[in-house]
Amino acid sequence: MARYLVTGAAGFIGFHLARRLLLEGSTVVGLDNLNAYYDVRLKRDRLVILQAQSRFQFAEIDVADHAAMQNVFAGDRFDVVFHLAAQAGVRHSLDHPRVYADSNLTGTLEVLEGCRQAGTGHLVFASSSSVYGSNTRQPFRESDGCDHPLSLYAATKRCGELMIHSYSHLFGLPATGMRFFTVYGPWGRPDMALFRFTAAMLAGRPIPVFGQGRLRRDFTYVDDVVEALVRVGERPPRANPAWPAVEPDPASSSAPFRIYNVGAQQPVELLAFIDELQRCLGVTARLELLPDQPGDVASTCADASSLLHDMGFAPRTPVNEGIARFVKWYREYYG
8 A C-beta contact, residue 254 and residue 170: no
Strands 175-180, 216-217: parallel, antiparallel or unpaired by DSSP? Answer: unpaired
The answer to whether 333 is a known catalytic residue is: no
* Contacts with 130 (C-beta within 8 Å, 6 or more apart), sequence order: 90, 149, 150, 151, 153, 154, 157, 297
Instruction: Look up residue 111 and give its amino acid.
Output: V
| Annotated active-site residue in 38, 153, 184, 260 | 153
Burial 151-183 (b: 16+ CB within 10 A, else e): bbbbbbbbbbbebbbebbbeeebbbbbbbbbbb
Alpha-carbon distance of 287 to 213, in angstroms, equals 9
CA separation for the pair 73, 118 (Å, rounded): 6
Task: Please list the active-site residues.
Answer: 153
